[in-house]
Amino acid sequence: MPESQHIEYKKSFGKDTIISLVSFANTNGGKVIVGVDDNSNHVLNLDEIIDLQQQSLSQSYDAYPQKQLVSELQLGLIDQFVSRVNDRGRFKLYDDVLTNLVKLQFVREGRPTLAAILLFGNHGNSIHKSVILF
Q: What is the pLDDT of residues 49-106, one digit of tens each?
A: 667 666 665 667 678 889 999 999 999 999 988 998 888 887 888 889 999 999 888 9
| Whole-prediction pTM | 0.52
Give me the mean pLDDT over the 33-47 stretch. 73
Q: What local confidence, expressed as pLDDT, does residue 85 receive?
A: 86
Question: How are the residues of the chain apportioned to helix, strand and coil, as percentages rounded to the nearest 5?
Answer: 45, 15, 40
Are 54 and 81 within one domain?
no
Q: What local confidence, expressed as pLDDT, does residue 56 receive?
A: 64
What residues make up the domain containing 50?
7-59
Are 78 and 42 within one domain?
no
Are 78 and 49 within one domain?
no
Higher pLDDT, 38 or 76: 76
Number of independent structural domains in the chain: 2
Are 18 and 54 within one domain?
yes
